Amino acid sequence: MTTLGHCLCKKTSWSFEGEASWSCYCHCDDCRRNCGAPVVAWLGVPLERFTWTGDTPKTFESSKGVWRHFCNTCGSPMGFEAAHYKGGMHVYAASLENPDAFLPTFHVNHKSKLPWLSLDDDLIKYDTTLSKAPTDLGVYE
């Protein structure tokens, strides 16, 4: 199975093979500001199954060891890598070719959720970051 994604102008695109390792919502302030959105939906993919397929994105190191990739033409956020999630690419569910097919399975940084944002789901709500969630969610297989 091949999954495709692209930015607003379609110059930057990606694909990956197989299933995502995990999928979630992140409520942290950095992700919100990076996307200009009240919450960000993510999926994690092992780097060895992930490829940029269009223009090479630009990269901003938003904090030490954290790299946020974005389209060099339209500015759409396109990917996230971090030293503490070695071996994985995090991509935005909203950039999926078919975002309807995405199924988030938990929340992280839920303690930072904006009080006016109302989400009606029964998913697990971790107050920690992904790397500190009480599971092996940071692991890419």
When the beta carbons of 2 and 56 are compared against Zn ion, the nearer one is 56
Q: Is 4 in the site for Zn ion (CB under 5 A)?
A: no
Question: At a CB cut-off of 8 Å and minimum separation 6, what does 119 contact?
Answer: 25, 39, 113
Question: Quick check: 72 and 13 in contact, CB under 8 A?
Answer: no
Q: Is 103 in the site for Zn ion (CB under 5 A)?
A: no
Which of 11, 49, 58, 125 is in the footprint of Zn ion by CB under 5 A?
11
When the beta carbons of 67 and 127 are compared against Zn ion, the nearer one is 67
Q: Is 9 in the site for Zn ion (CB under 5 A)?
A: yes
Residue 36 DSSP one-character state: T
Tokens read off for 87: 């071996």
Question: At a CB cut-off of 8 Å and minimum separation 6, what does 62 contact?
Answer: 30, 34, 68
When the beta carbons of 12 and 21 are compared against Zn ion, the nearer one is 12
When the beta carbons of 15 and 73 are compared against Zn ion, the nearer one is 73
Query: Could you identify the residue written with the tokens 């919100």?
Result: 32
3-state SS, residue 48: helix
For 83, phi then psi, to 5°, come to: -60, -35
Site string for Zn ion, 46-85 (x = CB under 5 A): -------------------------x-xx-----------
Q: Is 26 in the site for Zn ion (CB under 5 A)?
A: no
Q: Which residues lie near Zn ion (CB under 5 A)? A: 7, 9, 11-12, 71, 73-74
